[in-house]
Amino acid sequence: MDDCLFCRIIKGKLPAKIAYQDDLVTAFHDIDPQAPVHILVVPNQHSESLAEMGDADAESLGRVVEVLNKVAEQEGVAASGYRTLVNTGPDANQIVMHTHFHLLAGKPLGPMLSAFID
């Protein structure tokens, strides 16, 4: 989608600090981090939310999990722990309508995040 912010980042049409990219998934640093390490892991194929995804997306969703672990290792937070989060739909405060997974780490995060993230 030409008007999707994340699609434009994936295609290199918008600048981003890319942590990882392959043919299925792109990971990049959030521009408004809510933790010392805040990276978004995004399937390259556009879907508006996790609710739209199904069996046909199994490979890319599996790759998302692999990349979350890989990026946590790269960032040096795998051993101390990290949080993964997916906001699905407006009531969950999903702002960018492209399925994405947040990786948050780098400090103790507590039982809940104090700030909303998209």
The helix, strand and coil proportions of the chain, stated in percent and rounded to the nearest 5, come to: 25, 20, 50
Pairing assessment for the beta strands 82-85 and 18-21 based on DSSP bridges: unpaired
Helix (H) or strand (E) holding 112: none
Helix (H) or strand (E) holding 37: strand 37-43
The strand pairing partners of 21, in sequence order, are: 26
Active-site residue identified among 38, 98, 100, 102: 100
100 is catalytic: yes
Show the tokens assigned to 51: 């609710």
How many whole angstroms separate alpha carbon 100 and alpha carbon 94?
9
Active site residues: 100
